[in-house]
Amino acid sequence: MTEGLPDNERQRLANLILNGEKIPSRFGPTILEGSKEMELVWPGKTESVEQVVLPFQSIEQIDEPRTEDSQNLGLFDWDDSSGRQTGGWSNKLIWGDNKLILSSLSRGPMRQKIDAAGGLKLVYIDPPFDVGYDFSMDIAVGDDSFSKEPSVLEQFAYRDTWGNGAESFASMIYERILLIKDLLADDGSIFVHCDWRTSQLIRMILDETFGQENFRNEIIWRYSGWNKRLDSFFERRHDVILFYSKTDKSIFNSVTEPWESVEQYVKIRKQKLHTDEDGRQYVISDAGGGKRINRYIEEAMEYGRPLDDVWILDKMNNSSKESVGYPTQKPETLLSRIIETATNPGDLVADFFCGSGTTLAVAEKLGRTWIGADLGRFAVHTSRKRLITVQRERKSQGLPYRSFEILNLGGYERQHFYGASDDEQSELKNPTLLSGRRQAFVELVLSAYGAMPSQQLPPFSGAKQKTAVFVGDVNSAVSQSDVENCIDAALDSGITKIDILGFEFEMGISPVLADKAKEQGLTLTLRYIPSDVFDARAVKSGSVTFHEVGYLEIKPTVKGLNLKVSLADFGVFYRQTDADDAATSLKAGGSKIVVDEGQVLRITKSKAGVISRENVTTKWEDWIDYWSIDFNFESRPEVIRVIEDGKEVEKASGRFIFENEWQSFRTPTERGFELESAWHTYDAPGQKKVAVKVIDIFGNDTTRVFKIKVG
């Protein structure tokens, strides 16, 4: 067993064992049977991956209506009257933890859809390889901008990724790489974007998971910038993209780029330019085996220059037409090269750190299908706007495009976190499921809210005078099922007031819940938990404020069978920074934009120390980034697919999918938006239910449902 060890190392190993001491990991490959010749080892490493299968909840369906001259080339079924896609693959934009998403895609009912679509051919990921990355970004409001702080969910994701430095990053990326490999088709490939901080680590992880024999390229993406004279190292001017295939059968299409000029071609070839008797230019080239042939310039220029593994492309900048104002956005030319290389038209492409949606937008333009996922709500919202823009562009050009849906794991993600069974309500009534960590967090929030804890009112966590209080989880959004459970429990117990507290609320929480509660004499209030709850001084002083979720007022106009919707008012109550604290910390002559009490304020301190405040959000419209309408809300019931006894089963969730039929939104170049919708014409008279969704500048949504009568 220890034949490969010198005598002194054998003796050291024996002494360690006899003394009951830990054995250094470097001995593993020598003394353990079945060990790999080379393996990357770190504390806490495990080859076990997430096995959970959670049903995906469909939040929203988006499909720009097609006209007769905008054909789909037979790619899917569509309704001639509505112009909307009715069959075939619908692209997926998923909000949530990509580890749970990957596991559920790989092992759940969605896998059958992926296989039916030809299998997943390409995964490109651009994980957060910057240890200083904090999810903050600049948000435009009016003519100014301010820095949006990361959400609590993003802060926890950052902690999980970088809490123990390289060790925790390695664990995070390793498990996801294992899941991606399982999900990839046999002829699929993975491209992982990294830089000098993590390229060596990710390279070793990919070697271990995909095998060194399936390594294809280390692509150097070199970009331009200002040349700086540095004292201790050369300027870092490139990123690395690691390209691996799953097997030796992977798709590979040789991609070329245009030659800049004949002079460039001749210079690269380092050969003399000749002209034949017909006036055609050529160079004499070595064809191998001692043969030399004439390579004509005209043909060479038409064919283009085959790409090598060094790509010289400019980075994104705010002045680019592609820019959507997202800090980690990559240029479309970069993703075009990758997608064209590793896929064919119609193939399925995925990006599980999709950010601003570049991979998805390029895939759509190149006629590929796609899946995108991101933990950040703002990233999903940014991608949604970008993909709607792609649909509109392709519609105007008479080109095909697919519908896409926004999904999440909803209450099922929270249910998984606590290990609850399918009977979520009864399980959540079991106090033993609340771990010590969860209970401590709940007591902290209740203390800051001025409420008393109680386990006598499940699923409520406590009470504030005569109001029952529910506290959402620290690392997932409050779901619709959470709200439904609270309403049912309150009505059963005779409670008339409930407050639901959460760091975030699930996308698409049905607004009919508040109406349901109100109709039965129940006052329901949703409030955001501020990050101030983690500040002991703020809690002790009683200065923590829990703001309500935004409110929305609309004005419908009905003429016969026609409806037009206008926005009348919108309000939010966000707080990122205490304005007084910001003013105190300012240096003389400095200024800072903060969010406090639902206003964006510019705090300025003159050189004489005089502090002034200016309200940047002078109009309620300043808070709106996007709004959309479903003119026939509740016309499309949600059906989820789950595995029971090894078989796929479809179940009605009792919810409805928001059909995005009209929308208006801001872009980096077009800062205005419409406050009044286009006219919508109904097929028949009668009572209709309409839903209006507003997305604010933080990416959070507020929805209002109302009834009208037309005809």
Tokens representing 163 are 């809490």
User: How far apart, in whole angstroms, are the C-alpha atoms of residue 405 and residue 400?
Assistant: 17
User: First-to-last CA distance in the chain?
Assistant: 87
User: How far apart, in whole angstroms, are the C-alpha atoms of residue 490 and residue 34?
Assistant: 58
> pLDDT tens digits, residue range 86-98?
778 999 999 988 9
Q: Using CA of residue 25, residue 27, residue 31, residue 35, what is the dihedral sign?
A: positive
Helix (H) or strand (E) holding 93: strand 91-95
Residue 220, beta-bridge partner list = 240, 310
In order, the DSSP letters of 330-352 are --HHHHHHHHHHH--TT-EEEET
Query: Which domains does the chain carry?
Result: 57-217+228-255+307-408 (3.40.50.150), 262-302 (no CATH), 435-541 (3.40.1350), 551-710 (no CATH)
Q: Which candidate, 573, 590, 574, places its Cα nearest to that of 582? A: 590
- DSSP 8-state code for residue 260: S
pLDDT value of position 274: 87
Q: Which candidate, 63, 90, 62, places its Cα nearest to that of 76? A: 90
Model's pTM, two decimal places?
0.83
- Whether 413 shows a pLDDT value over 90: the answer reads no
Average pLDDT over residues 654-683: 92
User: How far apart, in whole angstroms, are the C-alpha atoms of residue 389 and residue 699?
Assistant: 17
Task: Compute how many other C-beta atoms are within 10 angstroms of the C-beta atom of residue 318.
Answer: 9
Average pLDDT over residues 396-407: 92
User: How far apart, in whole angstroms, are the C-alpha atoms of residue 256 and residue 271?
Assistant: 21
User: How far apart, in whole angstroms, are the C-alpha atoms of residue 545 and residue 529?
Assistant: 8
- Whether 223 shows a pLDDT value over 50: the answer reads yes
In order, the DSSP letters of 622-684 are GGEEEEEEETTTTSSEEEEEEEETTEEEEEEEEEE-EEE-EEEE--SS-----SBPPPEE-SS
Residue 419, beta-bridge partner list = none
- Whether 143 shows a pLDDT value over 60: the answer reads yes
pLDDT bracket for residue 420 (50, 70, 90): very low
* Residue 570 near residue 621, CB atoms below 8 Å: yes
pLDDT value of position 309: 95
pLDDT value of position 427: 36
* Residue 117 near residue 111, CB atoms below 8 Å: no
Tokens representing 677 are 């919708």
* Residue 477 near residue 504, CB atoms below 8 Å: yes
Name the one residue in this structure whose structure tokens are 């009605």: 652
Helix (H) or strand (E) holding 704: strand 701-710
pLDDT value of position 1: 54
* Residue 146 near residue 593, CB atoms below 8 Å: yes
